[in-house]
Structure 1
């Protein structure tokens, strides 16, 4: 008798819940949406987000009561930190797209084991596309085996928001903008694109399922400084921009990004981070040991700096106004609304 593939029960449950959540999301669209905003215009939330989250979490808890749970739209419980396995859920990755009529949104359900993403299910209700995969087993799209492409002219899937604000100014080849990073990663795993990157940080729920799918296809997702991504952290936010996809496409893209000096944010910068050396020496001395150092940097130079105390008050805000505005958005999404400080613009070096 042939043994069942690993995580088959988990995959079946996650698939069923993603499809049920998708049906709920379509129903809300048909009835009309009421949109609120959490930290700004780029961070909307709806009743559909919350109801889909409740549906998914209830189903996971019923099936796997010993596992930890983490969802963007539910109160966090520190109990998850003591579990080996944690389900990481974004009921709607791409809420802005969902509320504005774009099909680029998805229900995203990932399972991390000992901090490693092992299983992912991403369902796009608008197009009825279901991506599922387990590391060591493989990836399917709508039940059919899928995997990386073998094209050499790489398709670079990028954030439509980042493209409109900044990336359109650069001549990076192969860029195709779209919403939902979970859906980008799923489509890379299924061969519809090859690689992606972000300038802004993301949270665990944005990427856990997609990361598992890319790993299941034989690729990876890392921080822009090359460090691996771990899951089920106390503060579930990735500290900087990301790069992921086919390994050979990632190597090519890293070279292209470095050549063009495309920036990335780094939140919670410390002396242990490679980007610490982008700070001028005087700043390194002044900020050593501070837990609230946030930068946007490129080409070995800091473009914007925020220093925030434990209460969310901005102690310092300096740098290029364009980059400082984007860094402030990133920090606000991670920490919540900041208490403002006087703005100092200009180069930091």
Structure 2
């Protein structure tokens, strides 16, 4: 079996992000299809295999850019670079290991701290899809009763309280990327998280959400700023712009 060679150095940032997210997703599906691993071992194997692919590919394609990965030892040199790729090889390792569909691959690019370019692959969906910053699609209109995606295992108390205040339906789902993309795909209207995350959990999803005209911020309304020395970013709000103030007001009240 042969494949056409791609000169990654000739791809623009959006094409590179989407290509890498798609290829990493295929690799992960192949690892899972091997049938060789228990759920816990499958998650570890997938994380490490996809990470190696993404890290080597980005260092080959963008040698002058910084890199931050959940599965790679952090290098402080990135703090001196304006362009930093922030990746999560398997967002939703538990869901991936359990052979669910609500997991994702994140490939994001922060430019001067802003989530500027990115792609989120959802390989577990039928046929697999990649949602990217440069190919925005119309977000379906919301239903009469808003829907809020929350963790399927540990919904944040703040999210539950806000959902009650604005009379939103809770929709349990796995990874952060899957939740954020659910808003774009019209499967949900609000993604509110306050239970602790890191930059790789939200950089690519935030970039894609913003490119689709959605609101993306911290839960106090502050902008999302990436490539920080401390990569902990505990909270996130992604929703339709017309719902942002309503949700932010409910957060303050809660």
TM class, shorter-chain normalised?
0.7 to 0.9
Match of 2:37 in 1: 33
- CA shift digits 1:56-103 (9 cap, x unpaired): 111111111111111000111111111110110000000011112221
- CA shift digits 1:268-300 (9 cap, x unpaired): xxxxxxxxxxxxxxxxxxxxxxxxxxxxxxxxx
Cα contact 1:50–1:74 (8 A) shared by 2: no
151, 170, 174: which one aligns with 2:142: 151
Q: 1:8-47 residue pairs with structure 2 within 5 A?
A: 9-31=12-34, 32-34=36-38, 45-47=43-45
Match of 2:174 in 1: 179
Per the alignment, do residues 199 and 21 of structure 1 end up closer, same or farther by CA in structure 2, a change over 3 Å counting?
same
| Structure having the larger proportion of residues in helix | 2
Per the alignment, do residues 164 and 202 of structure 1 end up closer, same or farther by CA in structure 2, a change over 3 Å counting?
closer
Cα contact 2:40–2:97 (8 A) shared by 1: no
Per the alignment, do residues 218 and 168 of structure 1 end up closer, same or farther by CA in structure 2, a change over 3 Å counting?
closer
Q: Give the superposed CA RMSD.
A: 2.5
- CA shift digits 1:32-61 (9 cap, x unpaired): 335669xxxxxx950210110110111111
2-side partners of 1:80 and 1:215: how far apart?
24
Per the alignment, do residues 168 and 225 of structure 1 end up closer, same or farther by CA in structure 2, a change over 3 Å counting?
closer
Q: Which runs of 4+ in 1 moved over 4 A?
A: 34-37, 164-170
Per the alignment, do residues 115 and 166 of structure 1 end up closer, same or farther by CA in structure 2, a change over 3 Å counting?
closer
> 1:201 aligned to 2:196?
yes
1-side partners of 2:77 and 2:43: how far apart?
25
2-side partners of 1:112 and 1:164: how far apart?
27
- CA shift digits 1:15-39 (9 cap, x unpaired): 22112111111122122335669xx
Match of 1:302 in 2: none
Match of 1:267 in 2: none
Task: Give ranges in structure 2 of 5+ residues lacking alignment.
Answer: 1-9
TM-score (norm 2): 0.84
Q: Which moved more, 1:10-19 or 1:55-64?
A: 10-19
Per the alignment, do residues 168 and 236 of structure 1 end up closer, same or farther by CA in structure 2, a change over 3 Å counting?
closer
Cα contact 2:180–2:205 (8 A) shared by 1: yes
Task: Give ranges in structure 1 of 5+ residues lacking alignment.
Answer: 1-6, 38-43, 140-145, 262-349
Q: 1:321-336 residue pairs with structure 2 within 5 A?
A: none
Per the alignment, do residues 149 and 53 of structure 1 end up closer, same or farther by CA in structure 2, a change over 3 Å counting?
same
How far 1:161 moved relative to its partner? 2.1
110, 113, 116: which one aligns with 2:111: 113
Q: Please tell me whether Structure 1 or Structure 2 has the larger radius of gyration of its CA atoms.
A: 1
